[in-house]
Structure 1
């Protein structure tokens, strides 16, 4: 199993300097480059990282912006520097997010008959359209109990995994995606989920012949999945919110599965009609 990095934001008791240095090194940015981006000096950046200088709240946020630090971790940087968190974490069922929830529901319904769903940073599903429900037909009830998790549903040997014709490639893609996210943010929960799904046994057989020549020239790696005796091909597209000001909103993503070949388009449209 791949050894995953601990994440630069682990342990705010070390102070903000080491955390900022860890983020800068992970982004492979020099002190001089960061100083130029943030309108500061390399000397000041060095003093901040070594603890000789305490950055202002504005400077912490400016450095975090130029280092593309996730919103949740920006709060951790502020706390480590002795300031209050700037970004709230509003529960998704809070009335303040009614418009957001309604908008996401309209968005994924607008993708029908193509599958679309809304997930958070742990891949828990918060909304899904009828295209997703079609793919989940026949999945055991224990995998459909809340909180529904997209990674468990896809990679569990009783989930979608036995139906995915190109499972080795698609599984490798999903695990690599999780590895990148773990490297970008501090999340022990995401690390535990990764270790769980990476340890799932890979089904010995898959429907059809995954090694057979496929006449379709795909523009991206597809998920090729068996459904009612036919193989459907989808490519995944993920959309997030621009400039989020709330931790919950920052960690939401809308994933759509777009048909990757004409046969899949024709079949899905026949269902909708």
Structure 2
């Protein structure tokens, strides 16, 4: 890396070629995190009235002596302040959790510190502490993710609905508002829900819909269907199906006269919007139409 790249980067003076080269350097990630952390530091509030009063009081003092501060002492004070900022930034960065987020119509693969793999579905988030990972393998999840856990110490996935614990296996966790599902694809998974533990062997699922435990048939799949760009449901209220369609296709969904509690069994494409709409509307006996940037599902009163 060229020595002047850091200064030019801080001033936004790098060319595209220089920026690409700078991002490849080993130091770039550290500089980026320090700048991000430093930007969150706040200066103390300045009260102009109090400052003016202090000046007036100082002028009333008798036999006031003006002492010239030695230039070297000024330098020491500046250096000490810089050291405090750098130390604070370093401490702050080392206590941060790692947070990875996906938007609508986006999936993302995450490699954890022990080489465990996490595939995030759309509109999801995981967080974990890289600094504490060697002591405890804990992940917090919002949304849906498929885990391939490397063998080792206890591995836990914490959600608002329940906690999933394994030693080394493959499983999927979905935690949405009113919907919680854990499916084991390999090994053995322990699910703690409302203080009660349930153990899931490969091919079995634990499903909670609107705070009610739902029996789920065994599956012979090797991974969740969304990993193959499809969303599959078995006797799930239509409202959750439409929510997932909205996440996968990044389009606002509205309904009119539709029974959102009716159960839906079927699959829709996560990549082809038109096919997905037909796959949802046909078995549900509802219609759909586009209204600007939205899609409206409605009941046809005059079939």
TM value normalised by structure 2: 0.28
Ranked by relative contact order (alpha carbons within 8 Å, sequence separation 6 or more), the top structure is: 1
Instruction: State which structure, 1 or 2, has the greater radius of gyration over its C-alpha atoms.
Output: 2
Write 1 or 2 for the structure with the bigger share of strand. Answer: 2
Write 1 or 2 for the structure with the bigger share of helix. Answer: 1
